[in-house]
Chains A and B, each alone.
Chain A
Amino acid sequence: MKLRYRVLPEGAADGAIPLNCVFIDEADAKACGLTNEDAVKLIAKEFKDSCAAVNVMNKNGVSVSSDGIMNPIAVVATACVDHGMINPAFGYMNISEIPMYEGMMKDEPHMRQWLTAKFAGKPLHRGPVGKDLGERTGHNEYMTMTGRIANNNSGSEFFNMVEMTEVLALMAGQAEIMNDGEVMIGVAGPEVSVGIGMIVSERWGRIFGGNNLGGYKPGMTAHASAQYAKTVKSDYAVIAATKPKFMETMLDALDIGLVPGRELGCSPALLCSAWAYGKEIDFDRITPASWIELESVGITKEALMKPNTKPYTREEMLIHADEIIPGVISPKYYKVSEICEIREAEF
């Protein structure tokens, strides 16, 4: 039999991709009678002389970006392979389905997106639940590691720890890869660097939260590093959706009344979009530490508090997405079919 898988090879997208990024469709693994872990072990044999970060994806699943936006894709397992090997204790991690629990909409109000027609009933996978962690302990991030490769934050940051290279794989970008759509690849830049720290509070979140909701609430910054937040991830490659596609996911959340700073994170992308769309921003809940980071990339409270007398319609928001959403240096749009190889592993 043959297992089909996708590879964004090292050097793809005009040299922007620094390491091999592999994506396996869970449905393809199932069709071959393989568990997700077996599928990753099979892929490891394909990389006998190189290394790769590997995600197993559920195209029918849903996940949440760090600032609380729901995406029509889920990472259900993450792994790292190096010269055919997978570290037995830390090289592979399942990311189990998270059931809707009583009180979820109150505790995690951004999850109201899960009740909308687009996402209702789809399996949710965000971060690992207790049993997924294996031998990882309190100080370990939600990360897999084998040899020189690490795959962090539940499958959204891939590193080569020897060459000190990294690529951010935003959920919306991974959705495009799995659906043969279009991606935007560039250098993350200061706005994305600031934005990925402006997270929401979740149980079993992609980055934080075990059984409790964690200490970070919408309006806060998890980076909490003032003017340095804009540099944290600024020079890394990023795989994102095109800005109109990315805008669509944010508009879906804003259209059901979710407010940046209150139910959603206060990332530059969300704040700029909410303002342009004439939607509410909860200024009072955005903390002084977050404002310092936002102002360091030119997003000021003063400008956002000015009433928008001509808010865009949804259609106009999509047309003007490239100018509304800040971030990503030297972005290039690619059809996934132009840069992503479809390969087969025989067994």
Chain B
Amino acid sequence: MKCMHTRLPDYYAKVEAAAKKLRPETKFSISGMENVQTAKLASLRCGRIEREIEEVTEDPEIAEIEIKMVPYNPEEAYSVLIKGKRADGSCKKAVLDNMYATVPSVEYYMTDAEEIIDYRTGSRQYDV
């Protein structure tokens, strides 16, 4: 488990380290999973991302790395958990329902990109 997978806080630390590896002054931000408190990520995939960040920073013009984590399927399904709690914090009742949320897909965040390199696996790449 620990070899194959990376904890979410470790992922954040690794990608920031990758961004600053060549030039520590490189500005860095990551967003999109702020509400995810716990997750395991595929370590091989984390390594790929770290390597890709390093590749981007090899260009001396790059002064900042901004990472956006965007749902792959823009029409997301969520389970909604409604918890009714007593004054002492114990949960008396839980109600479940569905919520569907359509979010702007990743293209919304990259309209300013001069070059796009698509390393995604499967039949998901851009014709670029």
Contacts and interface: CB of A to CB of B under 8 A. Distances in A.
Q: A and B: real partners?
A: yes
Contacts of A82: 107-108, 111
Nearest to B118: A88
Nearest to B109: A147
A41 B128 CA distance: 12
A85 B102 contact: no
B33 interface: no
Contacts of A315: none
A147 B100 contact: no
Contacts of A91: 105, 107
Given A85-B126, A161-B102, A143 B75 contact: yes
Q: Which of A83, A90, A91, A147 has the most CB of B within 10 A?
A: A147
Interface stretch (A132-140, A199-207, A208-216, A222-230): A132-140
Given A82-B108, A85-B107, A145 B126 contact: no
Interface string A149-179: 0100000000101100000000000000000
Given A89-B72, A139-B100, A145-B74, A162 B108 contact: yes
Contacts of B56: none
Nearest to A138: B77
Contacts of A161: 102-104
Interface of B: 72-75, 77, 98, 100, 102-108, 110-111, 123-127
A145 B70 CA distance: 14
15 contacts: A83-B107, A88-B125, A88-B127, A90-B74, A91-B107, A139-B98, A145-B74, A145-B102, A145-B105, A147-B104, A147-B105, A147-B106, A148-B104, A161-B104, A162-B104
A122 B123 CA distance: 34
B104 A88 contact: no
A146 B100 CA distance: 17
Question: Which A-B residue pairs are the 9 nearest by beta carbons?
Answer: A147-B107, A83-B111, A139-B77, A147-B108, A145-B74, A85-B107, A82-B107, A148-B104, A87-B105
Nearest to A84: B111
A147 B108 CA distance: 4
Given A85-B126, A139-B100, A150-B102, A90 B73 contact: yes
Nearest to A90: B74
A137 B74 CA distance: 12
A83 B98 CA distance: 32
Q: Please tell me the size bucket of the interface on A.
A: 20 to 34
A140 B104 contact: no
A150 B101 CA distance: 12
B106 A87 contact: yes
A141 interface: yes
Contacts of A135: 73
A162 B103 CA distance: 9
A41 B125 CA distance: 14
Contacts of B72: 89
Contact of B105 (A90, A139, A159): A90
B114 to A, nearest CB: 12
Interface in A81-102: 82-83, 85, 87-91
A88 B126 contact: yes
Nearest to B111: A83
Contact of A146 (B73, B77, B107, B123): B107
Contacts of A148: 104, 108
Contacts of A143: 75, 102
B100 A88 contact: no
Contacts of A146: 105, 107
Contacts of A159: 102
A118 B72 CA distance: 44
B126 A147 contact: no
Contacts of B127: 41, 88
